[in-house]
Structure 1
Amino acid sequence: MEMKKFYITTPLYYVNDKPHIGHAYTTILADVIARYKKMFNEKVFFLTGTDEHGQKVQEAADKLNTNAKQHVDKFHKNYIELWNKLNIDYDKFIRTTDQSHQSKVKIMLQNFWDKGEIYLSEYEGLYSVSEERFITEKEYSEGNFRQVTKIKEKNYFFRMSKYQSRLIEYIKQNPNFIMPDTRKNEILGFLRKPLADLCISRPKSRLKWGIEIPFDENYVTYVWFDALLNYITAIDWNQKEKNFNYWWPADYHLIGKDIITTHAVYWITMLMAAKLPLPKHILAHGWWLMENEKISKSVGNVVNPIDLIDYFGEDALRYFLMREMTLGQDSSFSFELFKKRFNDDLANDLGNVLNRVTILIRKFCKNKVPSITNTDDTDKDMIDKIKSLHKVATRHIEKLNISQLIDDVMSVVRDVNKYLEIKQPWKTLKVDQSNYDGLNTLSISAEAIAQATKILYPVIPGKSTSILSILGLNSKDFNNFEFGFLVNNNISKHGPLFPRIEND
């Protein structure tokens, strides 16, 4: 039976500055989903990368007295460093300065020009340097744009308006195309007004850093037109058609809600013009807030994820971000929340039950997980919860409910602690080390920890590997969800995996 394929992407991150936890969240989310899909025996391609052209890059390089290429060659490494520290298992990191990407962008531009999808026209309007696009008077009046100037110049335009009706119809006929519903409704509201054509060029007289328009050497390509094409250039569009046709269309484009219009309107109409299949889903997540303000470079309230990783470890950050945000909603970050979530869930619940069970097995069972015999109703109830974990995970992953998945797994972990308190195996085994009720309790508890840890592996791969190793398992066992496979495994001695975060 042929494996199902799964293609997931993050947006391309703007190379200009160091990444913050908003960037980390999107990429961890993609990584977690990709790991779950691999767990369920799907063939996965996970794409991320950096957007390296545009006016802001050119200006930043000028301020540093360097050229733009040297600037992006240096700063894109910030993302690679963070993804390595976060244990992100991507399949490809694309840069828009890659020659293979640039050549394919030029091919697409030439195709559009030859088909009449692009035309030259003079335009006068307001231009936002921060957004690197023309904005409307209404947008300007709302005061959300910095460095706005009035510009009159000739530019090339993509006939985006031509596809408005088709786009509206497609969104309405495919209710899960844009997720969540709030973002879908936002786009449908945006499309109630006539859609303007998209300016896809910048004259070299004011911007030299970009991909040259193939049919006019006096212009470079608009940064969004260039960047959006990465989703197909990365999988060999117009080069290795077999590879491209295998992976495309993407299953999920993961993005922040602030770039929903560029993906749900610009990108989709570009694909329609190119006569290419559309991605299956565009999922726009919420913002991370600190004191009710979006965490962003421009606001200046950026939380450096590398500092958190260096102090608390990558799995602590991965767990917090995945557990704390419900898809589609905004979420708050504070060090108090971070500490509470870590201590409550990982130190007090998972870490505590692991310590209790392994110490008891080593003390009463000569380091080996005992057999299970003559189970009572309390045992059977616990076993049923353990056996349900894989189905629960499958159900939540289909809907990308990572936060709820984690909550359900941790609920079972808490149930193990309650189960131990009810059974009190340390008392029965102290009297009789062959007492089957006490032995059952320890074996079933160890089984629960192992199964819960396997489900949590995509979220906290580092610590999960350590826990499973303590329980005598190696990587080939990680996808084995049959009950009872731990019996006779040797339990290793270990220190605390999740030491509590103290107030200082």
Structure 2
Amino acid sequence: RELTEMQEENWFFRLSAFEDRLLEYYERHPGFVTPETKRNEAVSFVKSGLRDISITRTSIDWGIEVPWDPGHVFYVWYDALINYLTAIGYGREDDEVAEWWPSSHHLIGKEIIRFHCVWWPAMCMAAGLEPVSHVQIHGWLLVGGQKLSKTMAAEGGVRLTDISPVMLTDEFGVDPLRYYLVRETALGNDGEFSHEGITARYNTDLANNLGNLVARVTTIVAAKCDATTLVPRDDSELVAPAREAVDQARVAWARFAPSQALEATWSFIGATNAFLERQAPWKMEPGESLDAVMADALEAIRLVCILISPVMPRVAEEIWRRLRLAGSPSAAPEEEYLVWGRYRALEAVEKGEPLFPRIRSGE
């Protein structure tokens, strides 16, 4: 395409005036941008020297009109950022700014760091507002090392339409697909998607570990116990791993590290399966000893339901229903429900169909 030189009149935002203030803000708020590698990228950009930015256009007529100069429209990234505040009523008498700002989080892609981590906090400072409390950067979803794109197919790349989310959810389910995407890659890094990868996660983590745990416990309880009388033991050997999993998951979610939260949860699932292997309740006769083991196992599953509910809400609800528990795992008050010993069944548990039928590679 032939290069065309153009001139137009623009309004500018004096970004250069905020260089020192931005660096000072980053120094005082080390957790403003995460992960740290992306924070360093933003800081380096500021340190390289900021130039004033053009925030209006006169060569186009679509866009938000500049109130004080009708011949201008705002540059799209300038008015887009302001939406974070106007959405909560900024500029209106009945605004909700005090309720939502600045204690909010932005979740953004790594390619728009400059706008959100340099322009936007400077714009807030210029308006006399505290910048948003936290910006979490996420990476790209890659296939074969390439970013999914609508246009890359022309160059032999992978198109977004080559991998159908509908087909994946039909094959694996919505919750398992979400689990794979969240568990496989630390938030902030690029993630590599493959059909082999999701199949392995599904069969290992979900079918073998979680699904097998729920199936073996509900089968034994339904056949040999009265679930409504079972009460977890305060001195169970599962108390310590349960507390560790809850503590680690809580910290990880607060740090925007969902893959670590799930890792802690699956470690607890593994500990519970190992507990059952040692106790071998399938060999035990009905009675107090069996009831004690199964009460502990049911309590472990109850806690697992709550821990997985942010990523697999439908699965958590289904397990909760089979255990015949009151309320909902996703609506459970954290401090009250994430404590060992709260399992109480309203009626007999339900075995149900397998939660995660195994998938053979290539099917």
1:428 aligns with 2:280: no
What pairs with 1:265-344 in structure 2 (closer than 5 Å)? 265-300=118-153, 301=158, 302=160, 303-344=163-204
Distance in 2, Cα, partners of 1:338 & 1:148: 46
The two structures have a TM-score, normalised by structure 1, of 0.65
What pairs with 1:125-204 in structure 2 (closer than 5 Å)? 150-203=5-58
1:223 aligns with 2:69: no
Equivalent in the alignment of 2:349: 491
1:445 aligns with 2:297: yes
User: Is contact 1:370-1:439 (8 Å) kept?
Assistant: yes
Distance in 1, Cα, partners of 2:226 & 2:101: 54
CA 1:199–1:372: 2 relative to 1, 3 Å: closer
Answer 1 or 2: which has greater strand percent. 1
Structure 1 residue 487, shift from structure 2 partner: 4.0
CA 1:280–1:149: 2 relative to 1, 3 Å: farther
What pairs with 1:66-85 in structure 2 (closer than 5 Å)? none
CA 1:428–1:173: 2 relative to 1, 3 Å: same
CA 1:292–1:474: 2 relative to 1, 3 Å: same
Count matched residues. Answer: 349
Structure 1 residue 501, shift from structure 2 partner: 2.3
Kindly provide the CA deviation profile for residues 217-266 of structure 1, in whole angstroms up to 9, marking residues without a partner as x. 22221110111111101111111455211211143111111110110111
1:353 aligns with 2:206: no
| Residue of structure 2 aligned with 1:260, choices 109, 113, 116 | 113
Counterpart of 1:327 in 2: which secondary structure?
coil
Structure 1 residue 208, shift from structure 2 partner: 2.6
Which residue identity is paired with 2:106?
Answer: H
| Residue of structure 2 aligned with 1:464, choices 296, 312, 316 | 316
Structure 1 residue 148, shift from structure 2 partner: 7.9
Distance in 1, Cα, partners of 2:246 & 2:258: 14
Instruction: Name whichever of 459-468 and 167-176 sits farther off.
Output: 167-176
The two structures have a TM-score, normalised by structure 2, of 0.89
Structure 1 residue 367, shift from structure 2 partner: 5.3
Distance in 1, Cα, partners of 2:116 & 2:259: 25
Structure 1 residue 311, shift from structure 2 partner: 3.4
Counterpart of 2:150 in 1: which secondary structure?
coil
Structure 1 residue 192, shift from structure 2 partner: 2.6
Counterpart of 2:7 in 1: which secondary structure?
strand
Which residue identity is paired with 2:359?
Answer: I
User: Is contact 2:207-2:356 (8 Å) kept?
Assistant: yes
Equivalent in the alignment of 2:250: 394
Distance in 2, Cα, partners of 1:385 & 1:495: 28
User: Is contact 1:163-1:269 (8 Å) kept?
Assistant: yes
Distance in 1, Cα, partners of 2:18 & 2:345: 64
1:243 aligns with 2:96: yes
Distance in 2, Cα, partners of 1:155 & 1:292: 40
- What root-mean-square deviation, in Å, do the aligned CA atoms of Structure 1 and Structure 2 show? 2.2
Counterpart of 1:380 in 2: which secondary structure?
coil
Which residue identity is paired with 1:472?
Answer: R
Equivalent in the alignment of 2:307: 455
Kindly provide the CA deviation profile for residues 121-141 of structure 1, in whole angstroms up to 9, marking residues without a partner as x. xxxxxxxxxxxxxxxxxxxxx
Structure 1 residue 150, shift from structure 2 partner: 4.6
Counterpart of 1:475 in 2: which secondary structure?
coil
CA 1:307–1:213: 2 relative to 1, 3 Å: farther
Which residue identity is paired with 1:364?
Answer: K
Distance in 1, Cα, partners of 2:26 & 2:147: 28
Counterpart of 1:381 in 2: which secondary structure?
coil
What pairs with 1:16-95 in structure 2 (closer than 5 Å)? none
User: Is contact 2:250-2:261 (8 Å) kept?
Assistant: no
Distance in 2, Cα, partners of 1:184 & 1:410: 30
Counterpart of 2:136 in 1: which secondary structure?
strand
What pairs with 1:114-125 in structure 2 (closer than 5 Å)? none
Structure 1 residue 191, shift from structure 2 partner: 1.8
Distance in 2, Cα, partners of 1:244 & 1:148: 45
Structure 1 residue 362, shift from structure 2 partner: 0.6
Distance in 1, Cα, partners of 2:173 & 2:3: 42
Distance in 1, Cα, partners of 2:132 & 2:6: 35
Counterpart of 1:229 in 2: which secondary structure?
helix
CA 1:149–1:305: 2 relative to 1, 3 Å: farther
Counterpart of 1:232 in 2: which secondary structure?
helix
Kindly provide the CA deviation profile for residues 449-504 of structure 1, in whole angstroms up to 9, marking residues without a partner as x. 11011111111111100100111113356332333332454202311121222221
Structure 1 residue 299, shift from structure 2 partner: 2.8
Residue identity (%): 36
User: Is contact 1:180-1:283 (8 Å) kept?
Assistant: yes
Distance in 2, Cα, partners of 1:265 & 1:502: 48
Distance in 2, Cα, partners of 1:269 & 1:438: 63
Distance in 2, Cα, partners of 1:306 & 1:240: 44
Kindly provide the CA deviation profile for residues 68-100 of structure 1, in whole angstroms up to 9, marking residues without a partner as x. xxxxxxxxxxxxxxxxxxxxxxxxxxxxxxxxx
Instruction: Name whichever of 295-304 and 331-340 sits farther off.
Output: 295-304
Distance in 2, Cα, partners of 1:182 & 1:390: 28
Kindly provide the CA deviation profile for residues 371-413 of structure 1, in whole angstroms up to 9, marking residues without a partner as x. 456x8xxx73212222443322222222122101101111111
| Residue of structure 1 aligned with 2:259, choices 400, 403, 426 | 403
Structure 1 residue 156, shift from structure 2 partner: 1.8
Which residue identity is paired with 1:154?
Answer: E
